[in-house]
Amino acid sequence: MMNSAYENGMKFFRETDEAGIQGVIDGLSDVSPQISRYIIEFFGQAFSNPILTYQQREMIVISALISLGDTPNQLKWHMNFGLKVGITPNEMIEIATQCIPFCGFPRALNAVFVAKQLFAEQNIEVNIEDELLNHIDERRERGLAKLQEIDGKHGEAVADSLTDIAPMLAERIIEFAFGEIYSRTALNPKQRQLVTLGALTAQGGCEPQLDVHLNAAIRVGLTRQEVVEALLQCSPYTGFPKVLNAINVAKKIFLSH
């Protein structure tokens, strides 16, 4: 007899992507049917929780998989699923773009090519403009303003800590991460912070950076419950240790506020 989480999961997939989950079940049925049950139960538990929307949850998962860098099949599955629950193709590419400062160009580029393949298979046309191309000379000023808006004193402290040893890195954080990436309009500040939390949690060993970006998540309007739920959403993809470390960082932040 199946439990309620499994039943909720199957109901969820019937409403969103029945063929997709059936492919997973069929692929595992002869060697590890229990894993497909675990997957369905997870979806039944997580996606029935209204704290985050379906789109938010998949943005987090996609960013975590991009950051892990070695899961192209799962990334493609979740990109396809993301489209089914309402993430737009432009948002999909922007998620990969947002990940660049946190997991690097190679992993982000690999994700873009996975998305490109998926779009080609589904005849989806994407035409994304370089919206800041004609404003490059404003990048530093724009970056400083965005850094203050998103990270406040925590971001300034990171930049200041680098001035005596790696001032060029401080400038790249200001001009590129904030003057370019964070200043694009395809994702709103809350979405960008959810994507960032997914990417950093998946990386592991980024607790100081998680501290900054968890504070930023609260600063841009995410609630404590949404932040915790975002970290929990990562657990099936990153494993429990990375999520436990991230939760401990969040706990310290909540206690200090």
Give the model confidence (pLDDT) of 95-135 as tens digits. 999 999 999 999 999 999 999 999 999 999 998 889 999 99
What was the pLDDT predicted at 1? 52
Domain count, the chain: 2
Question: Is the residue at 42 inside a domain?
Answer: yes
Where does the pLDDT of residue 167 fall: very low under 50, low under 70, confident under 90, or very high at 90 and above? confident
SS (H, E, C) the chain: CCCHHHHHHHHHHHHHCHHHHHHHHHHHCCCCHHHHHHHHHHHHHHCCCCCCCHHHHHHHHHHHHHHHCCCHHHHHHHHHHHHHCCCCHHHHHHHHHHHHHHHCHHHHHHHHHHHHHHHHHCCCCCCCCCCCHHHHHHHHHHHHHHHHHHCHHHHHHHHHHHCCCCHHHHHHHHHHHHHHHCCCCCCCHHHHHHHHHHHHHHHCCCHHHHHHHHHHHHHCCCCHHHHHHHHHHCHHHHCHHHHHHHHHHHHHHHHHC
Return the pLDDT at 158: 78
Within a domain: 194: no
Is residue 208 one of the residues assigned to a domain?
no
Within a domain: residue 58? no
Inside any domain, residue 105: no
Domain presence at residue 154 = yes
Q: Name the pLDDT band for 257 (thresholds 50, 70, 90).
A: confident
Structure tokens at 183: 């200043």
pLDDT recorded at residue 47 = 93
The verdict on residue 9 lying in a domain is yes
pTM beyond 0.85: the answer is: yes
Mean pLDDT of 230-234: 98
| Residue 251 in domain | no
Domain boundary among 116, 151, 170: 170
Position 237 scores a pLDDT of 97
Domain containing 166 equals: 135-170
Share of the chain above pLDDT 70, in %: 99
pLDDT of residue 43: 95
